[in-house]
């Protein structure tokens, strides 16, 4: 209540003060119903990064936070004001972690927007706070349909105004993978393995629905809990159902165990394995030789000459800068999404910011409206269009085939691409 009150105070009293101040400055600025941020002369525009940066899922979030920082550096100043990301916040890949971090963010009235979260579970609990305080949040890797919509025009159960994402909706990827396995590979019997994560389980469920609708059979829908190193039991369970293919949209540690140990389980020799974007990274494709032959569904990573229109940076340029700064390649493919998300936010800020002498006013309502309107924005991930529920992703899923354990070859080796109809 106090927060809301102080927000309204900012809106009402603040607006008065601003009007008073504006009389001196000469610009007539009036804040909308969500209030506004005023950046004083010599101060920075505050945005925040909220990703998972510790614990086992940090491989997902760290490249995203770094991409946010690189994007801010590439974008440069906005009307003479620096953009500051501050200390990278940690969503801990959990609801409570997301909520606690969101609390830290909303405590600072100067924050305009957030790039995050990494994990859908964290967004579920963070968004009510972010939304209530009038901020916007753009995620580079949340994919849960509940956060946006079912793509049929019905808002998801956890949708809140002010939420956007550049990552694709799970429903698209589930359908893409199912179509590929059933139509392209001609597999009628597929086993599914998730790891108990909301993301992976959501994806296997979406796959199951799409696959069964196509007329295929799911032989078993099982799970390899996070932290499992002994994959023999789950592989035996899968092998016992005689599948022709296995779809396992899980993460690197468990996928490595499965790839390395599948050779020891009789009956899996001829089975086709397919993973998703959780393992679509050099850490799996190059470091694990047994991943040869795997298919991967995920966002189209043939960024090629796709250039972010705000910064004129393409994938090659980004990766070179990343390597120079951090001595390694990104450990997850969502760096591009986080980069585009950041530039989207900065573009929108630039579009709505009102110059008032050396100060800058950013209206929160106008910022949301601006993001809602985004369409045809060219980013590294492709053309970005935001729908009514914040899904801004490129909505194109590709399937690649790993033949020679070279990451760049694999990402170029696209065997299937899928764009939802309509």
Partner 1 sequence: MIDMRRTFRFGLLAGGAMAFLGGIGMIESFNERTLIDPILRMGDLFLYGTLFVIAYIAARGEINILEEPDYRAAETTATGAAVGFVATMVTVVYALLITAVDVVEFFPNMDEAMVESLTFEQGAPIGLALLGLASVIVGAVGGWLVSTADGLKQSISKVVGWVLGFALLEVVVTDIVESRDVSRLIYSPNGGLRLWSVAVIAVLVVYLSRRYSGRLTSFAAEVSNADSKSRLRRGVIAFLVFAAIVLPMLLGGILNELMINVSLFVLMGLGLNIVVGLAGLLDLGYVAFFAVGAYGTAVLTSPLSPTFSPQLNWWVALPIVFVLAAIAGLLVGTPVIRMRGDYLAIVTLGFGEIVRILLLSDWLTPLFGGSQGIRRIPGVDVPFLGEVGGTRPEFFVYLTLIFVLIAGYISYRAQNSRIGRAWAAMREDEDVAEAIGISTVSAKLLAFVTGAIIASFAGALFSAKVGAVFTNSFDVLVSIIILVVVIVGGMGSISGVIVGAFVLIGVLGGPKSPGLLAEFAEFKLLFYGAILVFMMLKRPEGLLPSVRRSRELHQDEMSQDAWLEKGGDFTADDAEGATT
Partner 2 sequence: MDRVFRVCCPAVVAETSTQNARTRRFRFNWVDSFLWFIRISAIIAIVVGLTGTIQNFLDGQGPTVEQWRDLFVSSISTGAMYGLVALGYSMVYGVLGFINFAHGEVFMSGIMVGWIAAMLLFENGLWDANPFISLAIVLLVAMFTSTLIAVLTEKIAYRPLRGSPRLIPLITSIGVSFFLQYAFAGLFGVGLQTYPAPPGILSEDINVFGVPIEGTKLLVIAVAILAMVALWYFVTKTKTGRAMRAVAEDKEIAGLMGINVDRTIVTTFAVGGAMAGVGGLLWALLFRNVQFITGFLPGIKAFTAAVLGGIGNLPGAMLGGVFLGLFEGMGPLLVLDGLGIPAVSQLKDAVAFSALILVLIFRPTGLLGERLGSEDRA
Residue 420 near residue 178 (C-beta atoms within 8 A): no
In DSSP notation, 272-283 reads EEEE-GGG-SHH
Residue from 196, 267, 317, 420 that binds partner 1 (CB under 8 A)?
A: 196
Residue 305 near residue 314 (C-beta atoms within 8 A): yes
User: What distance in Å separates the CA atoms of residue 74 and residue 242, rounded to the nearest whole number?
Assistant: 51
Which residue's entry shows tokens 């092998």? 239
Our finding on whether 175 is near partner 2 (CB under 8 A) is no
* Minimum distance from residue 240 beta carbon to partner 2 (Å): 4
Our finding on whether 7 is near partner 2 (CB under 8 A) is no
Residue from 82, 230, 323, 388 that binds partner 2 (CB under 8 A)?
A: 230
- Given partner 2, partner 1, none, residue 239, with its beta carbon under 5 to 8 Å by kind, binds partner 2
User: What distance in Å separates the CA atoms of residue 120 and residue 144, rounded to the nearest whole number?
Assistant: 6
Residue from 11, 47, 129, 224 that binds partner 1 (CB under 8 A)?
A: 129
How many residues line the site for partner 2 (CB under 8 A)?
Answer: 39
Binding range to partner 2, per CB under 8 A, among 86-94, 113-121, 286-294, 315-323: 286-294
Residue 202: name the closest of 156, 146, 246, 244 by CA: 146
Our finding on whether 293 is near partner 2 (CB under 8 A) is no
User: What distance in Å separates the CA atoms of residue 131 and residue 155, rounded to the nearest whole number?
Assistant: 15
* Minimum distance from residue 212 beta carbon to partner 2 (Å): 15
User: Would you say 224 or 341 has its CB closer to partner 2?
Assistant: 224
- Given partner 1, partner 2, none, residue 32, with its beta carbon under 5 to 8 Å by kind, binds none
User: Would you say 193 or 285 has its CB closer to partner 1?
Assistant: 193
Q: How distant, in Å, are the alpha carbons of 31, 183, 322, 404 from that of 410?
A: 50, 21, 20, 8
400 DSSP 8-state letter: E
Residue 217: beta bridge partners? 189
Helix (H, G, I), strand (E, B) or coil at 136: strand
Dig out the tokens for 389 from the structure. 């529920």
Our finding on whether 331 is near partner 1 (CB under 8 A) is no
Residues 110-149 that bind partner 2 (CB under 8 A): none
Largest CA distance in the chain: 80
* Minimum distance from residue 305 beta carbon to partner 2 (Å): 31
User: What distance in Å separates the CA atoms of residue 354 and residue 360, rounded to the nearest whole number?
Assistant: 6
Residue from 189, 217, 222, 261 that binds partner 1 (CB under 8 A)?
A: 222
Residues 223-282 that bind partner 1 (CB under 8 A): 223, 225
Which string of b and e fits 320-344 if b means at least 16 CB within 10 Å? ebbeeeeeeebbbbbbbbbbbbbbb
Residue from 16, 213, 232, 320 that binds partner 2 (CB under 8 A)?
A: 232
* Minimum distance from residue 109 beta carbon to partner 1 (Å): 8
- Given partner 2, partner 1, none, residue 1, with its beta carbon under 5 to 8 Å by kind, binds partner 1
Dig out the tokens for 310 from the structure. 């705000």
User: What distance in Å separates the CA atoms of residue 13 and residue 10, rounded to the nearest whole number?
Assistant: 6
Binding site for partner 2 (CB under 8 A): 55-56, 58-59, 196, 220-225, 227-230, 232-234, 236-237, 239-241, 252-253, 256-257, 260-261, 263-267, 283, 287-289, 331
Residues near partner 1 (CB under 8 A): 1-3, 6, 40, 42-44, 53-54, 87, 89-90, 92-97, 99-101, 103-104, 106-110, 121, 124-125, 128-129, 132, 146, 157-158, 194, 196-198, 200-202, 221-223, 225, 327-328
């Amino acid at each position: 209540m106090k927060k809301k009150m102080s927000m309204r105070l900012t809106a009402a009293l603040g607006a008065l003060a601003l009007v008073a101040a504006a009389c001196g400055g000469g610009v007539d600025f009036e804040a909308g119903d969500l209030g506004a941020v005023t950046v004083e002369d010599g101060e920075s525009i505050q945005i925040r990064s909220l990703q998972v940066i510790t614990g086992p899922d940090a491989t997902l979030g760290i490249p995203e936070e770094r991409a946010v920082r690189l994007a801010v550096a590439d974008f440069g100043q906005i009307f003479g004001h620096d953009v500051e990301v501050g200390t990278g916040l940690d969503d801990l890949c959990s609801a409570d972690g997301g909520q606690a971090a969101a609390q830290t963010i909303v405590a600072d009235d100067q924050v305009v927007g957030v790039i995050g979260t990494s994990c859908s579970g964290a967004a579920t609990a963070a968004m009510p706070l972010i939304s209530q305080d009038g901020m916007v949040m753009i995620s580079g890797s949340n994919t849960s349909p509940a956060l946006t919509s079912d793509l049929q025009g019905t808002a998801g159960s956890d949708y809140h105004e002010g939420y956007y994402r550049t990552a694709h909706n799970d429903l698209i990827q589930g359908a893409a993978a199912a179509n590929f396995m059933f139509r392209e590979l001609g597999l009628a019997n597929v086993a599914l393995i998730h790891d108990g994560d909301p993301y992976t389980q959501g994806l296997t469920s979406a796959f199951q629905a799409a696959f069964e609708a196509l007329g295929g059979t799911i032989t078993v829908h099982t799970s390899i809990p996070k932290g499992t190193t002994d994959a023999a039991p789950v592989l035996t369970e899968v092998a016992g159902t005689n599948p022709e293919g296995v779809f396992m949209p899980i993460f690197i540690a468990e996928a490595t165990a499965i790839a390395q140990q599948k050779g020891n389980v009789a009956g899996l020799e001829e089975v086709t394995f397919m993973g998703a974007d959780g393992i679509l990274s050099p850490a799996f494709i190059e470091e694990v030789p047994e991943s040869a032959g795997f298919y991967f569904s995920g966002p189209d990573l043939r960024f090629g000459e796709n250039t972010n229109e705000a910064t004129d940076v393409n994938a090659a340029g980004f990766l070179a800068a990343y390597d120079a700064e951090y001595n390694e390649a990104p450990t997850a493919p969502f760096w591009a999404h986080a980069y585009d998300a950041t530039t989207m936010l900065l573009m929108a800020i630039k579009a709505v910011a009102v110059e008032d002498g050396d100060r800058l006013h950013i209206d929160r309502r106008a910022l949301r409206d601006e993001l809602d309107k985004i369409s045809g924005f060219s980013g590294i991930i492709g053309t970005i269009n935001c729908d009514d529920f914040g899904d801004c992703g490129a909505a194109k899923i590709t399937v690649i085939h790993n033949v020679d354990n070279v990451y760049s070859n694999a990402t170029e080796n696209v065997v299937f691409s899928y764009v939802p109809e309509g």
